[in-house]
Amino acid sequence: MDFAIRGQHIEVTDALKDYIDKRLSRLEKYFDIPPATEGAVTLSVTRGIHKVEVTIPLPGGVFLRAEDRSDDMYTSIDSVLSKLERQIRKHKTKMNRRFRQDESLKGLFVDEGVNASVSPSTDEEEDELQVVRNKRFLLKPMDVEEAILQMNMIGHNFFVFSNIESETVNVVYRRNDGKYGLIEQE
């Protein structure tokens, strides 16, 4: 598995790169065939807090994503690895069951797989009503349960998807009480 490592407000030394490569290479044992896509690792330091974000795209539009913040960069890297392993473990069974019809994802994880919890990332302050980031993506047709699974895997509070049953664009979201909501268009 290859990773693009970049730093924000920090110089990424060879020692940091080697440590990240060594630690994240442990994830390869959880896949029958390691993903051919390149993962992204972002290191940043803000006011003495070291933050590590890792995103690994998998076949079928699935993402593994985790982040951690601490007083030490190496501690954050270890914590992110732990979160990714828990995320793989947690969702392996669900994903293999949900996607057993889809040959590109069938058998993606080794039988003894792992998975990580994902932490949402919102550090940007909004002083004005200004669009600061624009994302484009293909809406894969799926049912509500699969959309909730995808939302949890990428660590967001909402997920936009094409509802396979109604053939309309819907949004699932996490409510304050920990349950889920669904927004459908009329």
pLDDT in tens, 32-80: 776 777 888 999 998 888 999 998 887 767 778 888 999 989 999 999 9
Q: In this predicted structure, what is the pLDDT of residue 170?
A: 93
- pLDDT, tens digit, 9 for 90 and up, residues 133-175: 788 877 888 889 888 888 888 788 889 999 988 889 999 999 8
Domain boundary assignment for the chain: 1-119, 134-186
Own/partner contacts of 31-38, CB < 8 Å, gap of 24 or more, are 31/108, 31/109, 31/110, 31/113, 32/107, 32/108, 32/109, 32/110, 34/1, 35/1, 35/59, 38/2, 38/3, 38/4
**Domain 134-186 listed as CATH 1.25.40.10:** no
- pLDDT score, position 152: 84
Query: Given its phi and psi angles, is residue 34 left (phi above 0), alpha (psi -120 to 50 degrees) or beta?
Result: beta
Span 10-15, mean pLDDT?
88
Could you give the percent of the chain with pLDDT greater than 90? 16
How far apart are the C-alpha atoms of 40 and 11, rounded to whole Å? 16
Listed residue (167, 152, 169, 135) closest to 65, CA to CA = 152
Alpha helices in 54-157 (DSSP H): 73-98, 144-154
Architecture of domain 1-119: 2-Layer Sandwich (3.30)
pLDDT, the chain, mean: 78
Place 12 in a pLDDT band, splitting at 50, 70 and 90: confident
